[in-house]
Chains A and B, each alone.
Chain A
Amino acid sequence: MEIFEVMLPIAGIKFNVLLLIAIGFCVGTLGGFFGVGGAWIVTPALNIFGFNMSFAIGTDLAHIFGKSIIATRKHNKLGNVDWKLGLTSIFGSIVGVEVGAQVVLMLEAVGNVGPVVRWLYIVLLFGLGIYMLYDYISTTRSLKATPSDSEEPPPESPTGLAPKLHKLKIPPMISLPTSGIKEVSFWIIFAIFFLTGFLSGLLGVGGGFILLPSLIYLVGCPTTVAVGTSLLSVAFMSGYACFSYSLKGRTELVAASIMLVGAAIGAQVGVLATRYVRGLGIRLLFAIMIICAGVSVVLKQAEVSLEMPILSTIAGYAVMLAAGGMTTLIFIKLVKGAVAEKSS
């Protein structure tokens, strides 16, 4: 298979080009479908296959930047990006990330911050995953209980805390027509993004997996708009991170470019699949995905507690397996949807 090996000049290693494209394709599909960056998938994958951890992180972030531009544009064409909300989110997110990071520094000064953050991460992943599963089951039941003459699924209405938050009238009020929100207080939006940014800074994560459920359950966006708007936010954050990591010499530009080619194809698949999967279906798959991520973090925590380095490798393979399985499932849904559309 040497024919497929490409020299990566900055990292100084040879790497299989097909593997890079395959990794890019998987994370591109998941990113386009769920609106997440997917750093938690690519970084361990690159590391397992021979990348130094420093280069794995920087390279991953560089390709996420390019990929999120592609996916945001595609979602924008489908009318799934709420630009007003996305741009408003920057203010709250920046302040939140900074405060979260300062809290980490304070915790570090006090004592052992690592396990605290990791357990909080586990609780959040499982908590969000289980809540979204519960929401899926209860909504599906109520939809079955109210029979409808139409074959089309009913339009999504705000769920979770969103309807209550919309009732709070604290000026200035803004309208978000793309998200179907007539009026909401700017400060509510600011507070929600401050909270998600705070959790990002505290946990040390990009934030896509927190942002998507927050946009659905707190802001009240339809699922597909939440995916597109989340990607816009990921584009901003990863653009900055790409610059920052390159400045510190941790980006392998050739590898990132090759991965981006795979991610570009994957992003098309992921974004197009959102046309054929109901909002509720996206939520269900997302819930399964973040529970898988939770299991991988549990394995990493167990590696530290039990001093068994093999568990970290198992966690990496588990993440790749889950990502591969989910990508296949999304691809099947896209093909089935396209075939059904063509036949009708």
Chain B
Amino acid sequence: MRNYSNIISIILLSSLTLLMLLPLASPLSKACAGGHGDTGALEYRVDTENLTGIYKFLGDLYNDNRTWFAVVTTVWMALLGGIIAILADFILKFIFASSTGTARGK
């Protein structure tokens, strides 16, 4: 249970920091981009004609509402990171448990 609370606290703290940092939008994003960043909004539209399913959803979201696209992207990356972390732990535990079992069998 403690492991899950760690993940939740990382996600919550990241979100809190994100809100705290919003006023510093331009300087920080330049800093985080390794100095290459042109931080203006990109005037670009995704061609969604040939897209279907989740790709079409993402394309439409990108074209119609950048704020929601940013929220979905950030939350998805945090969630995916959390899910993969839990899965990886589970798999590693399974591998270690089975290798210990084999060793005991010997």
Residues of A within 8 A of B (CB): 7, 9-10, 12, 39-40, 43, 53-54, 57, 61-63, 65-70, 72-74, 76-77, 87, 90, 94, 97-98, 100-102, 104, 117, 200-201, 203-207, 232, 235-251, 253-254, 256-257, 260-261, 264-265, 268
Contact = CB atoms under 8 A, between A and B. Distances in A.
Given A10-B58, A73-B10, A243-B70, A260 B84 contact: yes
B88 A243 contact: no
Given A10-B58, A65-B81, A239-B15, A246 B70 contact: yes
Interface of B: 3, 6-7, 10-11, 13-15, 17-18, 20-22, 24-42, 44, 46-48, 51, 55-56, 58-59, 62, 66-67, 69-74, 76-78, 80-82, 84-85, 88-89, 92
B85 to A, nearest CB: 4
Contact of B18 (A67, A68, A207, A239): A239
Contacts of B21: 94, 240
B42 A253 contact: no
A207 B18 CA distance: 17
11 contacts: A65-B14, A68-B81, A70-B81, A70-B82, A72-B10, A98-B27, A204-B37, A243-B74, A248-B39, A253-B76, A256-B77
B69 A249 contact: yes
Nearest to B71: A243
Given A39-B32, A61-B33, A204-B34, A243 B80 contact: no
**What DSSP secondary structure best describes chain B's contact surface?**
helix
B42 A54 contact: yes
Given A9-B48, A246-B74, 11 more contacts: A65-B74, A69-B78, A90-B17, A97-B24, A101-B30, A232-B10, A236-B14, A244-B39, A256-B77, A260-B84, A264-B84
Closest 4 CB pairs of A and B: A204-B35, A101-B27, A66-B81, A241-B32
A57 B33 contact: yes
A235 B84 contact: no
A249 B28 contact: no
A309 to B, nearest CB: 15
Nearest to A67: B81
A77 B20 CA distance: 27
A57 B31 contact: no
A247 B39 CA distance: 10
A253 B79 CA distance: 13
Contacts of A265: 88
B34 A69 contact: no
B91 to A, nearest CB: 9
A22 B26 CA distance: 31
B39, B48, B56 pick with most chain A CB within 10 angstroms = B39
B31 A205 contact: yes
B31 A100 contact: yes
A97 B28 contact: yes
Contacts of B17: 90, 236, 239-240
B28 A240 contact: yes
A201 B27 contact: yes
A69 B11 contact: yes
B10 A66 contact: no
Nearest to B45: A249
A61 B39 CA distance: 13
A195 B15 CA distance: 24
Contacts of B27: 97-98, 100-102, 104, 201
Nearest to A237: B32
